[in-house]
Amino acid sequence: MKKLNSFFTSSIAITLLSLTSTAYAEWKELGSNEVMTVYADADTISGSGNKVQIMSMLDLKKPGVNPNNKQVVSSIVGLNEYNCPEISYRPIEFKEFAGNKGSGNVVSDSKTPDSKFEPVIDGSWTAGVFKVVCKLQ
């Protein structure tokens, strides 16, 4: 039952990422630096046990370029899973957008449901999201 519940929760979050327009999300600004502003949507928090998923958005102050298709990327919206006790995270799915705040054409999308957990580095954008999602757990 626990595996089914975890699968169901993950499926809902991935479906939301695929179908929901970022314009309707309840994005909360978590912080910014000279490169980007980081947002998270607390309404998308789901999970069980020590692992929690949340959608976050990186809004780039200066557009980047996707190395594969050479298209301009101005924002990235992703679903990440955080392991609170282990202070780690892993990307599950993300989309790159041509416009700021998840607007414009989708430049690329990637699903990585089997990605490995990586450490959350203090001062990184993942640390900001980690503090929100693991605090609310």
Determine which of 21-25, 31-35, 72-76 has the lowest per-residue pLDDT on average.
Answer: 21-25
Domains held by the chain: number: 1
For the stretch 84-136, pLDDT in tens is 999 999 999 999 999 999 999 999 999 999 999 999 999 999 999 999 999 86
Which CATH number fits the domain that encloses residue 65? 2.40.128
pLDDT at 48: 79
| pLDDT band with cut points at 50, 70 and 90 for residue 74 | very high
Complete DSSP assignment for 5-58: HHHHHHHHHHHHHHHS-GGGS--EEEEE-SSEEEEEEEEEEEEETTEEEEEEEE
pTM assigned to the model: 0.80
Q: Other CB atoms closer than 10 Å to residue 97's CB: what's the count?
A: 24
Mean pLDDT of 42-56: 92
* Percent residues over pLDDT 90 in the chain: 74
* Percent residues over pLDDT 70 in the chain: 81
Asked if residues 53 and 81 have their Cβ atoms less than 8 Å apart, the reply is yes
